[in-house]
Chains A and B, each alone.
Chain A
Amino acid sequence: MYAAAPSGVIGVLDLQGGVQEHLEHLRRIEVAGQPIKHASDLEGLAGLIIPGGESTCLARLLRIFGLREAIEAHYHQGLKLWGTCAGAILLARENIGEAPCLGLIDIAVSRNAFGSQLDSFNDEALAPALAREPIPLTFIRAPKIISVGTDVRVLLQLNDYIAAAEDDRILVTIFHPELTPSLAFHRYFARKCGLNPASGDETDLDPNWTPQSWIQSRK
């Protein structure tokens, strides 16, 4: 078993993208969050979130600073991972038309599958494993999960694509819970990491969250 989990800290990969947004959501569920810039920062984490951003940029920085190997090594020792949007692309075993980056979960993704920013959208849907009420969903130049392997469970299927999935150690979402008031996915991931976050109510929407809340974690 992963011996380092007792720290209770969830890291957020801090190379580029929506880092503060995730840290702010972790704060709201009273889980300690930490920005992760170096391979040595991975020691003792219970989980690591790979945030949204630009996947080509993140992939290059992971490669040149040795973080890719470090994340793989920690994953094999039990580190739990969650990729949102670009993060899901980096974790996918198959990235249609491109080489995979970390390739740790058996899913196939198609990058930027909806079109340009004009095709970014909001939606809401029921994900029974996460919450009893529909969860608000924000898709920004999102990829699609096209297919999943036999050991991967679908958490949310929409139209012709899969929006959230997991295996025993990795969670992937193509949308951005950290850009909405919903804390359901952060709580779900914290539990997956063996932590015991405070419970939310049935909707699990934080009434105090605003679109500018990330600024609190920026300062």
Chain B
Amino acid sequence: MVENRYLLNTQLAQMLKGGVIMDVVNVEQAQIAQEAGAVAVMALERVPADIRKQGGVARMSEPDLIKAIKESVTIPVMAKARIGHFVEAQILQALKIDYIDESEVLTPADEECHIDKTCFEIPFVCGARNLGEALRRIAEGAAMIRTKGEAGTGNVVEAVRHMRTMNREIRQLANMPTEEVVSFAKNNGLPYELALEVKKLSRLPVVNFAAGGIATPADAALMMQLGCDGVFVGSGIFKSSDPVRRAGAIVKATAYYNDPDKLLEASLDLGDPMPGLDVASMPAGERLAGRGW
């Protein structure tokens, strides 16, 4: 991949800042999302809450479905490939969607390696629980990062944990004398050159969105106030009682994340949110965030 292309891909992510990316499973939902002000849609066969409930192997969505969704909206279309499944990614690139999410929400295809994203022209977003994971994905060619959170739970606690962890590790790095960076990088699994760049910038060098468990306008604004650049909402919209209103409200709350009056306004009269799941009592095997290495 030429350097130019990678830069263009990180820059598309910059244009998504302050926006909401919504999971959709059909054309009708994609149009609702666009109408509500989503900056992109994630085309899926099942939202994470259903993947969690139904179990089985979760794979890349049917190309026909992704194609139909792509033809129904003008905003960018993203789709998920399994971790390490570079052929699913090749197919998604051939489909000419706008972004691939190499996602722990799908069943991993490789328990050792992620996709070598530098072989692709198309941009990738990847999940991370901490700075090491984020920088390893960037080293592999990801143009955008998101927290993993715990998808399909409607519980924001893991996304908060992952964002706070990244922020803490970035602060540590920024305040550290340079001679300590090598051992910090070694102990935390950080590629050294990228660790130096983060130290210099006091931030990830690419756009970082929140994902995994966001269900309310307040959840979205919480993640923005913690320093995320934008928000993915998966099951939170179309598993709620009034997806149209909730989608619009989360868009408002993300744009005005620092304005409590506007957040109150966005939180009124929304109907019921998706039912939530307790993550603490969840068996380790049911947690999706542990997938990826």
Contact = CB atoms under 8 A, between A and B. Distances in A.
Interface in A100-142: 111-112, 115-118, 120-122, 138, 140-141
Rank and list the top 5 A-B pairs by shortest CB-CB distance, nearest first: A16-B18, A117-B98, A60-B37, A57-B37, A54-B39
Interface string A2-40: 000000000000111111110000000000000001000
B2 to A, nearest CB: 10
Given A56-B75, A57-B37, A118-B122, A17 B12 contact: no
A64 interface: yes
Nearest to B94: A118
B5 to A, nearest CB: 9
A185 interface: no
Contact of B98 (A37, A86, A121, A141): A141
Interface residues of B, number: 44
Contacts of B77: 116
Contacts of A115: 96
Interface stretch (B82-90, B146-154, B186-194, B198-206): B198-206
B184 interface: no
Contacts of A47: none
Interface of A: 14-21, 37, 52-54, 56-57, 60-61, 64, 85-86, 111-112, 115-118, 120-122, 138, 140-141, 176, 179, 211-212, 214-215, 218-219
B122 A176 contact: no
B61 interface: no
Interface string B23-39: 00000000000111111
9 contacts: A17-B18, A52-B15, A57-B19, A116-B98, A117-B98, A120-B12, A140-B11, A176-B11, A212-B205
B123 interface: yes
Interface string B175-218: 00000000000000000000001000111010000000000000
A12 to B, nearest CB: 12
B121 interface: yes
From B14, B34, B201, B254, residue with most partner A Cβ within 10 Å: B14
Contacts of B12: 117, 120, 140-141
B221 interface: no
Given A53-B19, A118-B93, A118-B96, A64 B11 contact: no
A65 to B, nearest CB: 8
Interface of B: 4, 7-12, 14-19, 34-40, 74-77, 93, 96-99, 121-123, 197, 201-203, 205, 248, 251-252, 254-256, 259
Contact of A120 (B8, B17, B37, B251): B8
A19 B18 contact: yes
Nearest to B14: A18
A117 B100 CA distance: 11
Contact of A116 (B10, B38, B39, B97): B97
A140 B15 contact: yes
B15 A53 contact: yes
A117 B122 contact: yes
A104 B227 CA distance: 35
Contacts of B202: 219
Contacts of A179: 11, 14
B196 to A, nearest CB: 13
Contacts of A56: 34-35, 37, 74-75
Nearest to A85: B15
Nearest to A97: B74
A18 B123 contact: no
Nearest to A21: B14
B30 to A, nearest CB: 12
Given A15-B255, A16-B255, A57-B251, A118 B121 contact: yes
Nearest to B206: A212
A37 B263 CA distance: 14
Given A112-B74, A118-B96, A16 B201 contact: no
B136 to A, nearest CB: 19
A47 to B, nearest CB: 21
Contact of A60 (B7, B36, B197, B259): B36
A60 B36 CA distance: 7
B292 to A, nearest CB: 24
